[in-house]
Structure 1
Amino acid sequence: METRVDEVAEGIYRLNTKVPGFNFNQYLIVDDEPLLFHTGPRGLFDSVRAAIARVIPLARLRWIGFSHVEADECGALNHLLSVAPQASPLCSKVAALVSMTDLADRPPRALADGESLTLGRRSVTWLDAPHVPHGWECGYLFERETRTLLCGDLFTQAGGSDVPLTEGDILGPSEAFRAEMDYFAHGRRQDAILERLASTQPTTLACMHGSAWRGDGGALLRALAAALERDVH
């Protein structure tokens, strides 16, 4: 396997690895304190490590973040910590409380809802999103400089890995995937959480599976909310 590297917004790189029938993305934000969002599962570690090293030296990596505790989100976290001596885990306060203070080989930096972290000239803001799509500890990072929402599993596309960044339809493919395997928790606050994410007015959606997307991210997140609401009725 080889992990492909493409810049999808200024200074933000999509690291994509294809496996049979699926694909995994990590996103690397390059700044004074570089941040990797998602680690991939342990089986992809060697390929992902090599991809990071094509962009920055691993010794420069400072933060390793993820949306929620799941193998493809943070399975290779400790592997990366072992080769990135300055790096620390970055997660929600809930993730730190229930999992990461025990699972991670270094203490995590836990971000509160709405808390920002400065990476250099950029900053990222953590947005709690419990159970959207799944996981009590779930949340996302919004990078203000490029208006990029690191949106995890919200628009999971089984295909699309060969197209790093698209302005085409990703809701249709992601809804088709959800029809086969409904991974949303359908919690009570789902609509309010999606509206809050939409209100950040992202112009790039950094999806964990499939193509990253460029356009009116607020409108697309509201369209997702409407599709989920139709399921209820």
Structure 2
Amino acid sequence: MARIDEIESDVFRLSIFSTESGFQYNAFLVRDEEPLLYHTGPKSLFFQFSQAVASLIDLKQLRWISYSHFESDECGALNEWLTIAPQAEAVIGIVGAAVNGEFAIRPIRSLQDNEVFSTGKKSFRYLRTPHLPHGWDAGLLFEETDRTLFTSDLFHQNGDVEPVTEASLIDRFKEVLHNSQGPFSNYIPYTLHTEQMLRKLADLKPKTLAVMPGSSYKGDGKSAIEELIKVFQEM
């Protein structure tokens, strides 16, 4: 079963390390009146992730499923989750819903940039971030109550690392970028709009960064993202 760690109040990091890929697949369950799952994990890991979620909530109570962009680790098991949780609804950006909507077995709720929805005690803001980390459908969720930013592949780290850290993630992230070769070169592209989008994320002043592959981060999220901007400028 996936390792479970509570990284913020009622925000649980579910993690499975893959020896094949050399990094962790992390999903995040937000336990609230209307529970939310961020990242579905790939189909091959659905059983392990669903067992972990079932240890925290009744699977039939899962209400929302979200992810950044169309990719197997982000949403590969979406239909498996929609099947096991009959009242669950996928909620993503308007572009993702438009171009990938037929992938899901039930209609997807689409969100405009900066649209906010509530799961009960927690409030989520959708942030459209095309090509950050990658894909023109990309977007991120920011939980405004406890100031948790779900960063997807931003701050990607390899290895079977600790669940959460207060140390800088930059050196680990730089290693991933510098080792990306062949079809994985330009893994996270730097466009004319990248810095502007990152500065908007920094301005949110997140206290927790919920990272998909690697350790999550607790601390000064604004400074962490500003460090990230310098890394991209040096690429």
Normalized against structure 2, the TM-score is what?
Answer: 0.95
Q: CA separation in 2, counterparts of 1:8 and 1:160?
A: 17
CA RMSD in angstroms, aligned pairs only: 0.8
What secondary structure is seen at the aligned counterpart in 2 of 1:15?
strand
Q: Which amino acid aligns with 2:127?
A: L
Q: Which residue of 2 aligns with 1:13?
A: 12
- 1:218 to partner: Cα distance: 0.7
Instruction: Give 4+ residue runs of structure 1 displaced > 6 Å after superposition.
Output: none
Q: CA deviation at 1:188?
A: 1.1
Cα pair 1:115 1:125 within 8 Å, conserved: yes
Mapped partners of 2:147, 2:169: distance in 1:
18
Identity %: 40
CA distance in 2, matches of 1:175, 1:77: 30
Deviations 1:200-233 (A, max 9, x none): 00010000011110010011101101110111xx
Matched, 1:211 2:215: yes
Structure-2 change in CA distance of 1:160 and 1:201 (3 Å): farther
State how far apart, in whole Å, the 2-side matches of 1:184 and 1:138 are.
12
Q: 2:201 aligns with which of 184, 188, 197?
A: 197
Query: In 1, Cα distance between the equivalents of 2:215 and 2:227?
Result: 18
Matching residue of 1:228: 232
Paired AA for residue 50 in structure 1: Q
Query: Letter of the aligned partner of 1:224 in structure 2?
Result: L
Structure-1 residue corresponding to 2:183: none
In the alignment, which residue of structure 1 is the partner of 2:129? 129
- Is the partner of 2:195 in helix, strand or coil? helix
Q: Secondary structure at the match of 1:86?
A: coil
1:44 aligns with 2:45: yes
Q: 1:155-197, CA deviations, whole angstroms, 9 ceiling, x for partnerless residues?
A: 1011253x11100121110110111114112111000000000
Which runs of no fewer than 5 residues in structure 2 stay unpaired? 181-185
CA distance in 1, matches of 2:44, 2:216: 23
Counterpart in the other structure of 1:177: 176
- CA contact under 8 A between 1:96 and 1:108: conserved in structure 2? yes
Q: Secondary structure at the match of 1:72?
A: helix
Q: Residue 12 of structure 2 contacts residue 29 of structure 2 at CA under 8 Å; is this kept in 1?
A: yes
Structure 2 residue matching 1:198: 3-state secondary structure: helix
Q: Calculate the TM-score normalised by the size of structure 1.
A: 0.96
- Match of 1:115, as an amino acid? E
- Whole-angstrom distance in 2 between the partners of 1:174 and 1:160: 14
Of 42-51 and 152-161, the range deviating more from structure 2: 152-161
CA distance in 2, matches of 1:78, 1:11: 25
1:74 is matched with which residue? Answer: 75
Residue type at the aligned position of 1:190: T
Q: Which residue of 2 aligns with 1:103?
A: 103
> 8 Å contact 2:23–2:160 — kept in the other structure?
no
Matched, 1:187 2:188: no
Q: Contact 1:133 / 1:186 at 8 angstroms: preserved in 2?
A: no
Amino acid of the structure 2 residue aligned with 1:108: I
Whole-angstrom distance in 1 between the partners of 2:17 and 2:69? 21
